[in-house]
Amino acid sequence: MSLTIRNQLTGTVTGITEGAVMGTVLIALPGGQNVTAAVTLDAIKELGLSAGATVEVLIKSTEVSLTTGSVDGLSIRNQLRGTISSLETGGAMTVAHIALESGGELTSAITLAAVTDLGLAEGSSVTALVKSTEVALAAV
């Protein structure tokens, strides 16, 4: 299956916390960083998720925010460290390619004004921020 979602990372489920309707799934990425996905219990069941399962982590590039500063005090669970490997700028928007410290790559679609305000350039250290509700999972 081909998808338009640019960010597709493979990881291993390390834990599931169930609630009344939703649950959180903790996924370890190769290299040591983690991603949390908040999904419905039905989705957890339908995908057959359990500790040790391999999953694809899917994140739209428009849902990836970037910061060059401290991430202390944020409720955003997914804070992935990396370095800007390239910037594709056109008009009002930019696609930032981030080489993750844990391996793999993320893309972030942000405004050109944000790139300018943050002083982003190739080699800039950033933290990619993604709310757990914006992470989709696919069984492998």
CA distance linking residue 58 with residue 64, whole number of Å? 11
Average pLDDT of the chain? Answer: 96
pTM score, whole prediction: 0.94
pLDDT at 45: 97
Q: What is the pLDDT of residues 9-23, one digit of tens each?
A: 999 999 999 999 999
Q: Which two tokens stand for residue 110?
A: 């942000």
Mean per-residue pLDDT, 63-88 = 96
The closest alpha carbon to 99, from 82, 116, 111, belongs to: 82
pLDDT at 2: 83
Name the one residue in this structure whose structure tokens are 């428009």. 62
Q: What is the pLDDT of residues 65-75, one digit of tens each?
A: 999 999 999 99
Residue type, 126: V
- Residue 133, SS3 per DSSP: helix
Q: Give the H/E segment covering residue 112.
A: helix 112-118
pLDDT at 1: 72
When comparing pLDDT for 4 and 27, which is higher?
27
Residue 3 has pLDDT above 90, yes or no: no
pLDDT at 108: 98
* Band of pLDDT at residue 91, cut at 50, 70 and 90: confident
pLDDT at 16: 98
6, 51, 69, 100, 123 from 103: Cα distances, Å: 16, 22, 21, 5, 15
Residue 28 has pLDDT above 80, yes or no: yes
When comparing pLDDT for 121 and 3, which is higher?
121
